A and B are shown apart, each in its own frame.
Chain A
Amino acid sequence: MAGTGKAHLRDSPDVLLRIEDLVVEFPVGRTGLKVNAVSGISLDVLRGETLGLVGESGCGKSTTGRAIMQLPRPTSGSVVFEGSELTRLTGDEMREARTRMQMIFQDPISSLNPRRKVRQIVMEPLNIWKRGTDAERSQKVDSILEEVGIDPTRAAESQPHQFSGGQCQRISIARSLVLDPSLIICDEPVSALDVSVQAQVLNLLEDLKAEYGLTLIFIAHDLAVVKNISDRVAVMYLGKICEVAPSDVLYENPAHHYTSVLLNSIPVPDPEVAVTKTAIEGEPPSPVLPPPGCRFNPRCPAAQDICRTEEPQLRAVGDGHFVACHFPTVTPVELSTR
Chain B
Amino acid sequence: MSDLIQASSRDIDGPLLVLKDVTTHFKTPRGLVRAVDGVSFTLDRGKALGIVGESGSGKTILSRSIMGLLPPRGTVRGGSITFEGREIGNLGRKEMRSVWGKEMAMIFQDPMTSLNPVMKIGRQIAEPLQIHLGMTKQNAWATAERLLQDVRIPEAKRRLEQYPHEMSGGMRQRVMIAIALACGPTALFADEPTTALDVTVQAQILDLLGEQRRDRNMSLVLVTHDLGVVAGHTDEIAVMYGGKLVEKATTKGLFANMKMPYTEALLNSIPRLEDRSHTRLSAIAGRPPDLVNPPKGCRFAPRCPYAQPKCQNEEPPLVPTAEDPNHLYACWYPVGSPENTEIKVRIAASKSEFAAAAGGN
Contacts and interface: CB of A to CB of B under 8 A. Distances in A.
A267 B283 contact: no
A267 B201 contact: no
A172 B55 CA distance: 20
B355 interface: no
Contacts of B162: none
Interface string A258-280: 00011111111111101110111
Nearest to B272: A224
Bin the interface of chain A by size. 35 or more
Contacts of B279: 228
B256 to A, nearest CB: 8
A283 B168 contact: yes
B299 interface: no
A223 B270 CA distance: 12
Contacts of B270: 195, 199, 224, 269
Interface stretch (A1-9, A91-99, A117-125, A200-208): A200-208
B341 interface: no
Contact of B252 (A195, A197, A261, A271): A271
Interface in A187-226: 194-200, 202-203, 206, 221-225
A165 interface: yes
A20 interface: no
Interface residues of B, number: 47
Contacts of A199: 269-271, 281-284
A283 B200 CA distance: 8
B202 to A, nearest CB: 7
Contact of A229 (B267, B277, B282, B287): B277
B206 A267 contact: yes
A228 B282 CA distance: 12
Given A221-B198, A221-B199, A276-B232, A194 B225 contact: yes
Contacts of A225: 271
Given A197-B54, A199-B269, A56 B227 contact: no
A26 to B, nearest CB: 17
Contacts of B255: 269-272
A25 interface: no
B265 interface: yes
B207 A278 contact: yes
Q: Which of B200, B281, B287 has the most CB of A within 10 A?
A: B200
B1 interface: no
A195 B269 contact: yes
Contacts of A282: 154
A299 to B, nearest CB: 10
Contact of B277 (A165, A230, A263, A281): A230
A248 interface: yes
A226 B227 CA distance: 19
B38 interface: no
Interface string A160-203: 00001110000000000000000000000000001111111011
A323 to B, nearest CB: 19
A57 interface: yes
Given A265-B202, A267-B202, A276-B203, A231 B277 contact: yes
Contacts of B305: none
B170 A224 contact: no
Interface in B164-203: 168-171, 198-203
B200 A262 contact: yes
A251 B198 CA distance: 19
Contacts of B203: 264-265, 267, 276, 278-279
B273 interface: yes
Given A57-B169, A165-B55, A202 B281 contact: yes
A80 to B, nearest CB: 26
A276 B154 CA distance: 22
A66 B252 CA distance: 44
Interface string B195-238: 00011111110110000000000000000011111011100000
A202 B271 contact: yes
A200 B283 contact: yes
Contacts of A247: 277
Contacts of B273: 223-224, 227, 251, 263, 266
Interface of A: 56-58, 164-166, 194-200, 202-203, 206, 221-225, 227-231, 247-248, 251, 261-272, 274-276, 278-283
18 contacts: A56-B200, A57-B168, A194-B55, A195-B270, A199-B270, A203-B280, A222-B199, A251-B273, A262-B199, A267-B206, A267-B229, A269-B228, A269-B270, A272-B252, A272-B255, A276-B207, A279-B200, A283-B171
